[in-house]
Amino acid sequence: MNNPVLILGATSAIARATAGAFAARGHAIYLAGRDMDELPRIAADLRVRHGIEVRYGTFDAEATDTHAAFMQSVIDEMQGLSGVVLAFGYLGDQIAARDFSVGAKVIASNFTGAASILSHCANYFEPLKSGFIIGISSVAGDRGRQSNYVYGAAKGALSLYLQGLRNRLFPSSVRVITVKPGFVDTAMTYGLPGLFLVASPQDIGERIARAPEKSADVLYLPWFWRYIMLIIKHIPEFIFKRLKL
């Protein structure tokens, strides 16, 4: 198959757009996720629109003990992989901060599950001395805010993990790219008040698929979020703690 790309968490709007952008470049695609109603529909759509090979299968980020076998089965079925996009994530809600049973799920999905499957991906690509790993983190991981700090902490941890992984895999010529989207027009954000500069999933997907051809290690999407977050990160804590963000 032609340079297969594995999409982990393939049913979100960003993941679907990213898969579409890779498919438009001729890559074979493996769609991994939990929703077995949606996966065959997205797979069929990619086949019809782009005439590429698409496979799909169940993947549960939180079931870390299944990850090794999952990874092996994908590699077998696709006869190797040229890249992985980690696109799953779980926002939870405000309750996550007050009720740890909800918060634990946010951490288990966004960080623990991610760290688990990424370790298998890294072990696969390292000896190949090629390939790319794209992790979709979030600008929410750049600074803790009262409105979503459990999610932010998990995504921040993922960003750190990817940073370390990039350092480890650099000698092996495996690209590790951290993507930090700002507000994107998806089911996660639809109808939320106070959003601004909202990007379309198609735009984000196109940029993500372009990332392996470019040199940036950390990609804010759209680009201006780098500067918004630069400002936010540099607000002194004694002021920041008083803000209602």
Partner 1 sequence: MGTLVTLLSGWGRYPVQSCELERPERYADLRANADSVIARGQGRSYGDSALNENGRVLLTERVNRMLDFDTEQGILRAEAGTTLAEILPVIVPKGWFLPVTPGTKFVSLGGCVAADVHGKNHHHDGSFGDHVLALEMILADGRRVTCSPEEKPELFWATVGGMGLTGIIGAVTLKLVQITSAYMKVQNRAADNLVQLFQLLQNENVQERYSVAWIDCLASGDSLGRGVAMFGHHASADHLPPSLGNPLATKPAKSRALPFDFPGWVLNSKSIGKFNDFYFKREGGKQRPFLSAYDAYFYPLDGIGHWNRMYGKHGFVQYQCLIPDAQAYEGIKALLEELSASRRASFLAVLKRLGAQGSGMLSFPLAGYTLALDLPMRDDGLLELLTRLDEIVLRYGGRVYLAKDARLTAESFRKMYPRYDEFIAVKNNVDPDNRFSSSMSRRLGIAGEAT
**Residue span binding partner 1 (CB under 8 A) among the ranges 22-30, 36-44, 125-133, 149-157:** 36-44
Name residue, tokens 């190797």.
Answer: 80
> Quick check: 38 binds partner 1 (CB under 8 A)?
yes
Q: Which residue in 2, 26, 41, 223 binds partner 1 (CB under 8 A)? A: 41
Tokens of 31: 């769609």
Is residue 148 involved in binding partner 1 (CB under 8 A)?
Answer: no
State the burial class of residue 130 (Cβ atoms within 10 Å of its Cβ: 0-12, 13-18, 19+).
Answer: exposed
Q: What angle do CA 130, 6, 16 make, to 5 degrees?
A: 130
Among 191, 196, 234, 239, binds partner 1 (CB under 8 A): 191
Q: Which residues contact 80 (CB under 8 A, 6 or more apart)?
A: 4
Q: Rounded CA gap, 133 and 101, in Å?
A: 30
d(CA 189, CA 52): 31
Choice from 42, 133, 204, 221 touching partner 1 (CB under 8 A): 42
192 touches partner 1 by CB under 8 A: yes
* SS percent in the chain: helix, strand, coil, step 5: 50, 15, 35
Cβ at position 76, least distance to partner 1 in Å = 27
- Binding characters for partner 1, 4-23, by CB under 8 A (x = yes): -------xxx----------
| Contact range with partner 1 by CB under 8 A, out of 40-48, 78-86, 123-131, 167-175 | 40-48
Options 2, 44, 95, 245; binder of partner 1; rule CB under 8 A: 44
Query: What are the contacts of 64-73 at 24+ separation with CB within 8 A?
Result: 64/112, 64/113, 64/116, 64/117, 67/116, 67/117, 67/120, 68/120, 70/32, 70/117, 71/117, 71/120, 71/121, 71/124
Specify the residue, 24 or 160, whose C-beta has the smaller distance to partner 1.
24
Q: By CB under 8 A, is residue 137 in contact with partner 1?
A: no
Q: Which is nearer to partner 1, 37 or 65 (CB)?
A: 37
Is position 239 an interface residue for partner 1 (rule: CB under 8 A)? no
Residue 242 CB coordination number (10 Å): 7
Q: Is 187 in the site for partner 1 (CB under 8 A)?
A: yes
User: Binders of partner 1 among 49-108, rule CB under 8 A?
Assistant: 49
The verdict on whether omega for the bond into residue 222 sits within 30 degrees of 0, i.e. cis, is yes
Residues of the shown chain interacting with partner 1 in the complex, contacts defined by CB under 8 A: 11-13, 35, 37-38, 41-42, 44-45, 48-49, 186-187, 189-192
